[in-house]
């Protein structure tokens, strides 16, 4: 079916019949209908332009929506990767801290063992020194003709007397450091 344009209505010629419509009224109605059709066609044309503009704008919004959705997905993935990396780094830091703590505890145990060993050695050396010193005192007292049990008695008041001119605190009979006794 062919569409009627406003020009078709204005140019329309109808055959004349005896009992027909008033030509002037028909012509005015056709002119009015042509004007109305022309107005409606203009509005339709404008609406189609608006529709095309709105459709293009809608397409741009959809494109932006997809880009934003993609950006959001990328941002979420980046956030997940950053979180995972931070958790991994934290785990490594904790493991390193535990490793350092274990090493420090081990070093402390070793150092404690070394100190305890040194204390034992010093105690042993002390006992050996006291024994050597006691033997030396015994030898000195024996050479001075004093009974070595003198050192073991709790009270010195009843102890045998030393030979005349000899005192336990008298060190004048020992040679000075670095010199041998003649």
Please report whether residue 144 resides in a domain.
Answer: yes
Which conformational region is residue 178 in: left (phi greater than 0), alpha (psi within -120 to 50 degrees), or beta? Answer: left
Structural domain boundaries enclosing 116: 6-148
Does residue 179 belong to any structural domain of this protein? Answer: no
Residue pair 105/114 in contact by the 8 Å Cβ criterion? no
**Is residue 141 included in any domain, yes or no?**
yes
Is residue 24 included in any domain, yes or no? yes
33-55 as b/e: b if 16+ CB within 10 A: ebeebeeeeeeeeeeeeeeeeee
- Per-residue pLDDT at 131: 93
The residue assigned the tokens 């406003």 is 6
Q: Is residue 11 part of a domain?
A: yes
Tens digit of each residue's pLDDT, the chain (182 residues) = 677 788 887 887 777 777 777 788 888 888 888 888 889 999 999 999 999 999 999 999 999 999 999 999 999 999 999 999 999 999 999 999 999 999 999 999 999 999 999 999 999 999 999 999 999 988 888 888 766 666 566 555 555 555 555 555 444 455 555 555 44
Q: How many domains does the chain fold into? A: 1
**Residue recorded with tokens 């010199």:** 179
């Amino acid at each position: 079916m062919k569409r009627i344009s406003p020009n078709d209505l204005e140019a329309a010629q109808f055959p004349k019949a005896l009992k027909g419509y008033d030509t002037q009224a028909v012509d005015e109605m056709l002119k009015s209908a042509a004007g109305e059709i022309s107005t409606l066609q203009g509005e339709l044309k404008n609406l189609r332009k608006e529709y095309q503009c709105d459709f293009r704008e809608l397409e741009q919004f959809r494109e932006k929506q997809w880009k934003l959705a993609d950006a959001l997905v990328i941002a979420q993935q980046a956030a997940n990767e950053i979180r995972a990396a931070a958790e991994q780094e934290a785990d490594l830091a904790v493991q390193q801290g535990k490793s350092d703590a274990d090493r420090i505890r081990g070093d402390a145990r070793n150092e404690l063992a070394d100190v305890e060993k040194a204390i034992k050695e010093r105690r042993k050396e002390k006992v050996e020194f006291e024994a050597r010193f006691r033997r030396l005192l015994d030898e000195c007292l024996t050479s001075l003709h004093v009974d070595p049990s003198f050192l073991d008695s709790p009270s010195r008041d009843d102890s045998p007397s030393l030979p005349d001119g000899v005192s336990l605190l008298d060190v004048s009979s020992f040679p000075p450091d670095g010199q041998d006794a003649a």
